[in-house]
Homo-oligomer: A and B are copies of this chain.
Amino acid sequence: MEKIKASILTIGDELLIGQVIDTNSAFIAQELNAIGIDIVRRVAVGDAWDEMWKALDEEQTHADIVLITGGLGPTSDDITKPLLCEYFQTELIQNEDALVNLKKIFINRTLAEKQMGQALLPKACTPIPNTRGTAFGMWFERNGKIIISMPGVPFEMKGMITDFIVPKFKQTLQLPTIGYRYLLTGGLGESAINDRIQTFEDQLPKGMGLAYLPDLGKVRLRLTLHGDNLEEVNRVLDEEFAKMKALLPDVIISDNGDSTEVALGKLLKSQNLTVATAESCTAGNIAHIISSVPGASQYLLGGIVAYSNQVKHEILHVKSETLEKFGAVSEETVKEMVQGTLNIVHSDYAIAVSGILGPDGGSDEKPVGTVWIAVGTKEYITTKKFQFRHNRERNMQLTTNHALNMLIQILRHANA
């Protein structure tokens, strides 16, 4: 079966002047990839009639489906709708669903005439409902090509992709059966993981792909298999996925697509445990990341941002002798930070970090990037020293990710 090819066409000056970073395309690509449609090109053009017309023509020479985002607002520089009308030689007619939707959104406000235009849609298109905003999407078909127009607002676009476009693709297109398995690992680099699983990789069934998707301090591994029969695809994937997991038992963060913070939250909740942090160099980022999961207040009690030595000493009760003798960035200090946090916040677990993120503050003995992390309970504390080699921001992220991973591995182990 020929793979179906799609191109993403983004309309809007804001993308060409660097004002906005395009996150829409990544979402669309992920959703379409998951159902077996290949994105072959992504193109952004400005709010310019000729450029957009030419791009529409061109993209149909590259792809079977063109997904357009942007240019659907009610102002005069939003040209997508009039252009598509002319492109498909059709006219605007009032759409009742779009009108009802519009009136619902403006229930307590006056509808200006230019907003009323949002209820007009090209006669030749299949309207795509927008449950999250005023601009409906449009679905055109001509000469075997599908042209889809969506708003540029990520939240509205995502609703259309999930609720309408992907289901309609699944119904109307001949798509391959495709399966994925994701393993999120922490603490090992790409090449170290490769060393462990190369032999496994070499024996993968024909057609199964393994991708390494590295991030700071973590690597996501993805198994992909195309096939004709979904049950068979899932059976083979499950078999290989189990083999892969068995090779990496000590570094697994999640095997179901969960992010680090979601995986950590589930581990803590299922064991009815609480956590607190004592953060020097990350200055609150670890607690903040833990808190980003809805319901985190069940297991995150709080923490201390111990940026100054005074806070380390007076609030966390790190001994002055420890700070003087070993320094703020030392195994002894992070250990005492864990103990102090457990004593004053009364959590089951505490995470403590102290390091030199740069660009300044390094020394021969403790260069920029030196970070100590401690994780533990009243009974035992694990510590680890890291030497990062990136800039301040990345060193901070690495510290955060490694600290969370250390706690996850302890909890997974305790649970086993």
Q: Is A290 in contact with B294, judged by CB distance below 8 angstroms?
A: no
Q: Is A286 an interface residue (CB 8 A)?
A: yes
Query: Are B45 and A16 neighbours in the complex by a CB distance under 8 Å?
Result: no
Q: Which of A83-91, A142-150, A276-284 contacts the other chain?
A: A276-284
- Which of A115-123, A196-204, A227-235, A309-317 lies on the face that meets chain B? A309-317
**Chain B residues, Cβ within 8 Å of A286:** 284
Q: Which residues of the partner chain B approach A307 to less than 8 Å between Cβ atoms?
A: 287, 291, 296-297, 300-303
Residues on the B chain within 8 Å of A39, using CB? 16-18
Question: What is the bound-complex CA distance between A346 and B313, given in angstroms?
Answer: 13
Q: Contacts A315-B344, A396-B292 known; A305 to B302 CB distance under 8 Å?
A: yes
Number of copies: 2
A344 touches B44 (CB 8 A): no
Binary contact track A222-252/B, C-beta < 8 Å → 1, others 0: 0000000000000000000000000000000
Query: Counting chain B CB atoms within 10 Å of each CB, which of A20, A41, A302, A346 scores highest?
Result: A302
Q: CB-defined interface of A319-358 with B at 8 Å, one 1/0 digit per residue?
A: 0000000000000000000000000111000000000001
> Which one, A26-34, A105-113, A163-171, A401-409, is touching chain B?
A26-34
Q: Contact at B292–A305, with CB atoms within 8 Å? A: no
A40 to chain B, nearest CB (A): 6
Question: With A and B bound together, what is the CA distance between A295 and B334 in angstroms?
Answer: 21
Query: Which residues 9-23 of A have a CB within 8 angstroms of B?
Result: 10, 15-23
* Binary flags per residue of A169-196, CB closer than 8 Å to B gives 1, else 0: 0000000000000000000000000000
